[in-house]
């Protein structure tokens, strides 16, 4: 009590200061602290809203990334399918080209064989006619007469019949082989034809 009196603090002054402090605190709380806490709450709400927006954006970004990866996988699968289809189409085209080329080659070879056979037959017929003509000439000289065309034709037909068409067409050497083997070509033929 002496200390309170020495400091000059009276109960009335102390009470007045306490009441004034409480009034000041009430006024600050009402007008100052309320606004400060309101600003703090608003700032906190803004921060929370921004954080929620960031979370939403991140979720949306994750969804877009997932969709992009799915689309990319679909594009890769489609590209792979198209490449395989193109390879199969090219393989089929190559097989068709090879088959066509083989068919054409076989056709050309067959045509060549046919043409070669025709030329061989033509050459053989020409050779046969020449041999027959030589034989007829030799036979005419041996017989000592001029044969008429009709007589020559009949002799040629008979000669060809005696040689045999089977041996003639077999190898292309029937007449020439027979006439040469039967005595120097013309003489053997002449003997066969001299009987007429």
- 67-86 tens-digit pLDDT: 999 999 999 899 999 999 99
152, 196 contact by CB (below 8 A): no
Residues 6+ apart with CB under 8 A from 104: none
pLDDT in tens, 104-124: 999 999 998 899 899 989 988
Question: Please, is 53 exposed, middle or buried when counting C-beta atoms within 10 Å of its C-beta (0-12, 13-18, 19+)?
Answer: exposed
Q: What does the alpha-carbon distance between residue 63 and residue 167 come to, in Å, rounded to a whole number?
A: 92
User: Which one, of 77, 178, 82, 78, lies nearest residue 132 by Cα?
Assistant: 178
Q: Is the full-model pTM beyond 0.85?
A: no
Q: What does residue 10 show for φ and ψ, rounded to 5 degrees? A: -110, 155
Residues 6+ apart with CB under 8 A from 168: 124, 128, 160, 174, 175
Report in angstroms the alpha-carbon separations of 51 from 16, 55, 61, 65. Answer: 49, 6, 15, 21
């Amino acid at each position: 009590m002496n200390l309170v009196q020495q400091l000059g603090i009276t109960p009335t002054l102390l009470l007045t200061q306490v009441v004034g402090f409480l009034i000041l605190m009430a006024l600050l709380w009402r007008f100052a602290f309320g606004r400060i806490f309101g600003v703090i709450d608003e700032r906190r709400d803004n921060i929370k809203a921004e954080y929620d927006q960031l979370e939403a954006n991140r979720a949306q970004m994750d969804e877009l990334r997932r969709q992009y990866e799915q689309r990319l996988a679909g594009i890769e699968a489609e590209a792979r399918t198209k490449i395989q289809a193109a390879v199969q189409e090219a393989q089929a085209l190559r097989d068709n080209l090879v088959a066509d080329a083989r068919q054409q080659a076989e056709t050309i070879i067959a045509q060549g064989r046919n043409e070669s056979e025709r030329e061989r037959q033509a050459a053989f017929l020409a050779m046969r006619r020449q041999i027959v003509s030589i034989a007829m000439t030799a036979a005419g000289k041996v017989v000592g007469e001029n044969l008429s065309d009709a007589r020559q034709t009949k002799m040629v037909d008979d000669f060809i019949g005696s040689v045999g068409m089977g041996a003639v067409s077999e190898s292309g050497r029937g007449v020439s082989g027979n006439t040469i083997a039967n005595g120097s070509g013309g003489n053997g033929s002449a003997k066969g034809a001299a009987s007429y």
